[in-house]
Structure 1
């Protein structure tokens, strides 16, 4: 900018002050209308004026400057439509004023000048838009890369807390607040260019308002970092609501695609995010081992199963003591185990278990009697039913009998 508020135009050493004032007035008026910085018009108006007066096409170094201006506009976050409007507004203002600046002798001269100006406008805007798009794509890739790196470091619990807090700020993440991690895993795989992550981020922002949210992909899953909707002591239905909303949004986004969603509990601080993530991962793994039908699982509901897994030696002893006799059954233990799983999953209702297994009620009652005969534990007796239920859960978690314990080997957690 000059002291008078005008732009320092390229080649101004050969231009008189009246020409500079004319170009500056056009730039200021166009910038005011389009609400874009008039600095983006540097070189552009000069090449337009030269095209109108001499009929020459823009030179490569002039287009290179326009290309650089397009990149700057993208980096400054100026909308593309506003930048294009700035250039078009400047072009028609210049054309309107040209008869007062350059006397045209005849119609042919006007026609040639118009063609030269339109050609210059087209070449300049083409270069501008192309560089703007390239710069925008680079910025998007850079932001996605930074987002992935931040999410990875948050999920693994980066020990450099001060640095992680600094990196989280540009994304609007306040690590002083409690956050929870929600994992969403499709039945198929996430492919390159999958739009589920971007859709989900927009949905969450729309559903919960202006809140700090990060959505990324990791190991074939969508990872959602979201501020806690309620403290960890709140009723479970409030915490579960987030998982259910996310699952429903994903189902609506692509009909027919199946998802399983797991929610970790909310914790404060950067280490709390890593803890919530591990809980959500473990909840997914436990739901798979237990063959749960529920599409949404909550880490809080998986706590009892975590206890069983962590005392693996004790649960192995229980399985061997209670369920090993089932291996003596004709056809192996699997049919009897499946019957027990269905029986317990349906609230000990034989008719519901039969429907779940697609067998007759008589088959279910026969198998339950066989379990009592072989193990000495009656599924109909409340005390003995509890022991059987825990043993069956342990078998599901440890993949027994497919996994042989080798008489006590591999029983340390």
Structure 2
């Protein structure tokens, strides 16, 4: 078994490695900076003063930390790791890529090894392997410190941005000083938003006993929103859970084909999407959000197929289902059908199929004469004749009112 050799005693080419690195530090720093610029494209885009200042300083700190650890035969200490982490935090604050930072440290480690082993010969194999092992350990330790510092800052930044966006969404929807909140959060408000109230169908994975339903829901929502962000950028605001919720899409310049965008989002998430939309200025979002939620209810009640709808698409249905004495009385006209579910089912199918009795019979798997009998029973129980042109508008209105007052949300 080979006896451990102290770092201070490691010798290559007749000179202790830590002494060679100290003596050649200026040249080594210059080599590292030149190599980083040559090998890592992101560093070539940095200002010259940052390379000559901050980056050169970080490089010097890293080289000296390695030399000290070698001379004192130890790993990097807490203070040295804090310096490494602090520099990573600064890069994260600047939005500099983590991959580039890690690559730069690997480049620096290779140059340290190259300079330290420049004069090594065959007699130095054992020490050369030991130095290589020390350099690899140094790289591993530094990589961990860089990654922790960078990601902690990133998490803090993302958390702050998330909180700011949630606050802005809340103020937009609930009312408040929108401009003040946006300025304090550093967010530029668009001239207008597309306000979407959406209902998302379940993904197949949500029903699978072999899949964590919570993960399936989060994956669905992430993919759904990512499709909008690809079109609208990072200004998308959303409050969503598994069944759906509210999405605000910033409108800048020429508006895209929103139905196509919604369809793409649904396909990305692997679900059907029913949505109500309205365009509004930031100060009008609160009103628009209420209206689109109401329109979405109407779309549900009337069984509209997945897609994007506006108020103009359901004006009659919307008006018929507004709360009030008239709606309550219309709904009450069909109360006798509560005791006869087959009559209520027949009426719904008859109206949905544009009063075609044969198609109604086929859908219900009954004889057309049975449909006629049930429609006459509805007339007798409610006083409204669905078979007569004069009774049709009233029965349609009563059916809409019943959906609005009794349909589950």
**Which deviates further from its counterpart, 189-198 or 306-315?**
189-198
Residue of structure 2 equivalent to 1:313: 325
Look up the match of 1:292: 303
CA distance in 1, matches of 2:165, 2:405: 36
Q: Which runs of 5 or more structure 1 residues have no equivalent in the other structure? A: 1-14, 232-237, 403-413
Deviation per CA, 1:252-300, whole angstroms, max 9, x where unpaired?
A: 533xx5x4422221112x2322222212221232334x25142335241
Matched with 1:64 is 82
In the alignment, which residue of structure 2 is the partner of 1:199? 223
Which of these residues, 244, 253, 262, is aligned with residue 221 of structure 1?
Answer: 244
RMSD over aligned CA atoms reads: 3.7
The partner residue of 1:184 within 199, 203, 206 is: 199
Q: How far off its partner does 1:361 sit?
A: 2.3
In the alignment, the residues of structure 1 paired with residue 309 and residue 37 of structure 2 have an alpha-carbon distance, to the nearest angstrom, of 54
Matches of residues 143-162 of structure 1 in structure 2 within 5 Å?
143-157=161-175, 159-162=176-179
Question: Aligned with 1:378: secondary structure?
Answer: coil
Q: Describe the shift of the 1:74–1:97 C-alpha distance in structure 2 as closer, same or farther (beyond 3 A).
A: same
Label 1:244 to 1:343 Cα distance change in 2 as closer, same or farther (>3 A): farther
Task: Give the superposition deviation at 1:380.
Answer: 3.0
Question: Match for residue 383 of structure 1?
Answer: 390
| Partner Cα separation in structure 1 for residue 223 and residue 289 of structure 2 | 21
1:293-349: CA deviation from partner (whole Å, max 9, x where unpaired): 4233524134333423435201223344x445x45xxx8243323222211111111
- In structure 2, which of residues 297, 313, 316 is the aligned counterpart of residue 304 of structure 1? 316
| 1:265 paired residue number | 278
Query: In structure 2, what is the Cα distance between the partners aligned to 1:17 and 1:100?
Result: 14
| Contact 1:336-1:368 within 8 A present in 2 as well | yes
Alignment of 1:116-195 (within 5 A): 116-157=134-175, 159-166=176-183, 169-170=186-187, 173-174=189-190, 176-187=191-202, 191=214, 194-195=218-219
Cα-to-partner distance string for 1:236-260 (whole Å, 9 max, x where unaligned) = xx99x63564255334533xx5x44
For the 8 Å contact 2:22–2:67, the answer to whether it is kept is: no
Counterparts in 2 of 1:112 and 1:323: CA distance versus 1, 3 Å: closer
| Contact 2:195/2:246 (<8 A) preserved | no
1:12 maps to which residue?
Answer: none
Paired residues of 1:51 and 1:116 also in contact (CA < 8 A): no
- Aligned residue runs from structure 1 range 342-361, under 5 A: 342-361=349-368
Cα distance, 1:356–1:312 mapped onto 2, change above 3 Å = farther
Unaligned segments of structure 2, at least 5 residues: 1-19, 44-50, 207-212
- Seen in structure 2, the aligned counterparts of structure 1 residues 354 and 169 have a Cα distance that, compared at 3 Å, is farther
Q: Kindly tell me: are residues 338 and 282 of structure 1, through their superposed partners in 2, closer, same or farther at Cα, counting changes over 3 Å?
A: same
TM-score by length of 2: 0.75
Report the equivalent of 1:79.
97
Partner of 1:246: 262
Cα separation, 1, equivalents of 2:167 and 2:294: 22
2:36 and 2:374 map into 1 onto residues whose CA distance is 83
Could you tell which deviates more after superposition, 187-196 or 362-371? Answer: 187-196
Shift of 1:186: 3.8
What is the count of residue pairs matched by the alignment?
367
